[in-house]
Structure formats: structure tokens, C-alpha cells
């Protein structure tokens, strides 16, 4: 009996430093049986330490994640290509063979201001929003027997 392969997901954002790294970690943690997520950016920056911090609160370690440019994935086939910011949505290259291309816009937590507690609160909110929307989407999308909810 052949074991079905995981569906591949590419998650894109501008800097690949917070939102997309967070989403990649969440998908690979909560949907490890069904999905294999990767993330990249249109203008990659260093990993945001607040993103790593709030993910560690959930027991998910993204501290060694390295931002990658979207061109690193050129020529690969993905079942889902998901953009998380308007810039990536506008500037995302075409991925031939992509099963579904989706845009799920989220505010940029890296723009949060205030003290560390206020900044962490914004990162937690965005992390939780990403988890909620992505989980809701993939629970419906991956329903057994191909039936949609």
C-alpha cells in the first residue's frame, strides 16, 4: 500500500522574517501529517527574534530558520502558494503547477511600537490570527475523502 505524499505549501511575505516564518512553523507543527510548508520572501531580512519568542511559547522552535528569497523555489511545484502581505501578493512570481494561490493578509508585527510587552502582544495576536485562519482553511481543505465542509 502506497503512502500518500504530503501536499507542499509555499508561504510568502516580503521579509520572510516574521509572518511567513511563523506560518511555516505553525503549518509544519499542526499539519505535519498532511502538509510540508516552506516560506520565502520577496526581500528577505533576518529572522525577527520576537517571532521566534512567541513561537517558542507554543513549543515550536523556529529560532534556526533562515530567511530565503522566493527565487530559491523557482521551478518547484506547490499544491498551495499563500501570500501573507499585500506586497508579496502583488509581487509574487507565477508558480506553474501551483494547485491553489491564496492571499491571507495580516498586519506586520515588525512595525509594532512601544515597550517589549506591547511588541510581544502584537506578535502574539498576529501569530494567533495566522493560526486561526490557516487552521480553518486547511481543516476544510484537507477533509477526508475529498469532501469539502
92 catalytic, yes or no?
yes
Domain 7-146's class? Answer: alpha beta
- Give, as one character, the DSSP assignment of residue 92: P
Domain locations in the chain as residue ranges:
7-146
pLDDT digit string, tens, across residues 90-123: 766 666 666 898 999 999 999 999 999 999 999 9
Helix (H) or strand (E) holding 117: helix 116-141
84 phi and psi, to 5 degrees? Answer: -115, -5
- Decide if 13 is catalytic: yes
Place of cell 491553489: 100
Catalytic residue among 47, 85, 110, 122, which? 85
Q: Measured between alpha carbons, how far is 109 from 126 in angstroms, rounded to an integer?
A: 7
In the chain, DSSP assigns E strands to: 7-13, 35-41, 80-83, 100-103
Determine the number of helices (DSSP H) and then strands (DSSP E) in the chain: 4, 4
Q: Which set of grid coordinates corresponds to residue 19?
A: 509572518
Residue 27 pLDDT level (bands cut at 50, 70, 90): very high
Is residue 65's pLDDT more than 70?
yes
Query: Which of 13, 23, 27, 55 is flagged as catalytic?
Result: 13
Amino acid at each position: 500500500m502506497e503512502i500518500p505524499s504530503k501536499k507542499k505549501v509555499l508561504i510568502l511575505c516580503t521579509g520572510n522574517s516574521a509572518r511567513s516564518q511563523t506560518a511555516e512553523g505553525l503549518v509544519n507543527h499542526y499539519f505535519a501529517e498532511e502538509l510540508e510548508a516552506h516560506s520565502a520572501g520577496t526581500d528577505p531580512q533576518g529572522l525577527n527574534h520576537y517571532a521566534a519568542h512567541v513561537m517558542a511559547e507554543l513549543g515550536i522552535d523556529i529560532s534556526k530558520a533562515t530567511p530565503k528569497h522566493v527565487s530559491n523555489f523557482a521551478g518547484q511545484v506547490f499544491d498551495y502558494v499563500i501570500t501573507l502581505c499585500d506586497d508579496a501578493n502583488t509581487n509574487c512570481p507565477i508558480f506553474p503547477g501551483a494547485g491553489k494561490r491564496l492571499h491571507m493578509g495580516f498586519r506586520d508585527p515588525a512595525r509594532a511600537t512601544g515597550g517589549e510587552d506591547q511588541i510581544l502582544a502584537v506578535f502574539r495576536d498576529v501569530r494567533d490570527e495566522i493560526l486561526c485562519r490557516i487552521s480553518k482553511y486547511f481543516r476544510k481543505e484537507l477533509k477526508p475523502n475529498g469532501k469539502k465542509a
